[in-house]
Amino acid sequence: MSSLHRRIHLTRGPSYILAVLLAAVACGGRVGDREGARDDELDVFTAGSLARPVRAALDSFAPGTGVTPRQETAGSVELARRITELHRIPDLLAVADAELIPELLLPAHAAWYAVFAHDRLVLAYRPGSAVAARLAREPWYVVASAPEVEVGRSDPDLDPAGYRALLVMQLAERHYARPGLAERLRARAPRRNVRPKSADLVALVQAGELDLAWLYASVARANGLAVVALPPAIDLGSPADSAGYAMASVRIAGRTRGDTIVVRGRPIRFALTVPLDAPHPERGAALAAFLLSPHGLALLAREGLEVSDVPMVVGTGVPSAVTAAVAGAAGHGAAGHGAAESRTARPGAAEDTP
């Protein structure tokens, strides 16, 4: 053994290493191939703000169907880019901004989407913290632009809550007629307080690192955080105020580095789709139908989401299971009983209008 070792070391060393390296390069094939799929898998991509409700619904969905759900969570923009750039296709995609699907995925990667919930942006804080006492005395925009207050927001290039926070800052400046307010609010949420997705901010508020964080009302509620409710004219939660929201706009990263796209203010709507080329389209459609059914919506509502009474489906090639589930929800909504008890829809914001 030692003679073999020595021989390799002394005489064959260089050629042996060369052979291994050549074989190593030969091993690497084309990059970006799709991974092979096992038989009972169901890949679900969820926005950070939807991770918890969808997880709860999956716990109820999976046992009956024998599938093993694999959930991946990231900012919605990042999820869309995983599909378009990395060609990693899930069986179901749930995003925090419905508009991302037509803007980034139609027509190459998706043909339809269903809007199933809406939300509004709030400033969340820890009940009983120092900032809570201040908020009782002073207007929120004074507290949130004070130099000693730390405010968290998510990355606008990856996460809709990130660009929505910037939009709300602009709307607040206009609404309260305070020139420079948007810049002051943004200055209190500097880069060190920016995280990839808004759900990441929850832990930092709970740990006391952040005083305030720009979150969805549903996320704050589900995590037991107190919130500053903003006026409907600026909180992106009221479809009636769409025209006013559209006056705000921000520029975020586009498809490639250096490229940018403009996002305008619009009501916050959550949507899902089964991407084209999903590895298991029937399973994806079955899960979509489950989530959009009255039972599924009630499960989502229990986790704090403000679900639509009747989901709105847009596009072509909608799976029949999904159409049937939405029709069931419509009948259910008309009958007006059952799953509605845990719903917290606000008047005027309950219906999504196309």
Partner 1 sequence: MSGRLAARLWTVLAALAGSALLLFLAAPLAQLVASGGAAGLRGLFDDAELRASLLLTAGTATAATLLGVVAGTPVAYLLARRPFRGRALVAALLDLPLLLPHPVAGIALLLVLARDTPAGGALLALGLRVVGTPAGIVAAMLFVSAPLYVSGAREAFARVDPRYEGVARTLGDAPWRALRRVTLPLAARGLGAAAIVMWARAVSEFGAIVVLAYNPKVASVLSYDRFTTYGLREALPVAAVLVLLALVPLALLRAAREEA
Q: Which residues bind partner 1 (CB under 8 A)?
A: 1, 4, 20-21, 23-25, 27-28, 31-32, 74, 78, 81-82, 85-86, 150, 157-158, 191-196, 200, 203-204, 207-209, 253, 256-257
What is the edge-to-edge ordering of all strands in the sheet holding 112-119?
68-74, 41-47, 92-95, 268-273, 112-119, 306-315
With respect to partner 1, which residue has the nearer C-beta, 77 or 169? 77
Closest CB 336 distance from partner 1, rounded Å: 43
Q: Tell me how far apart the alpha carbons of residues 153 and 170 are, in angstroms, rounded to a whole number.
A: 15
What DSSP state is assigned to residue 342?
A: G
Closest CB 220 distance from partner 1, rounded Å: 18
Closest CB 154 distance from partner 1, rounded Å: 10
Residue 160 CB partners (closer than 8 Å, separation 6+): 47, 75, 76, 77, 95, 96, 97, 100, 268
With respect to partner 1, which residue has the nearer C-beta, 134 or 195? 195
With respect to partner 1, which residue has the nearer C-beta, 38 or 191? 191
With respect to partner 1, which residue has the nearer C-beta, 209 or 330? 209
Residue 246 CB partners (closer than 8 Å, separation 6+): 264, 265, 266
Closest CB 238 distance from partner 1, rounded Å: 31
Q: Where are the beta strands (DSSP E) in 224-304?
A: 226-228, 249-253, 260-264, 268-273
Closest CB 134 distance from partner 1, rounded Å: 15
Which residues are bridge partners to 118 per DSSP?
269, 306
With respect to partner 1, which residue has the nearer C-beta, 199 or 236? 199
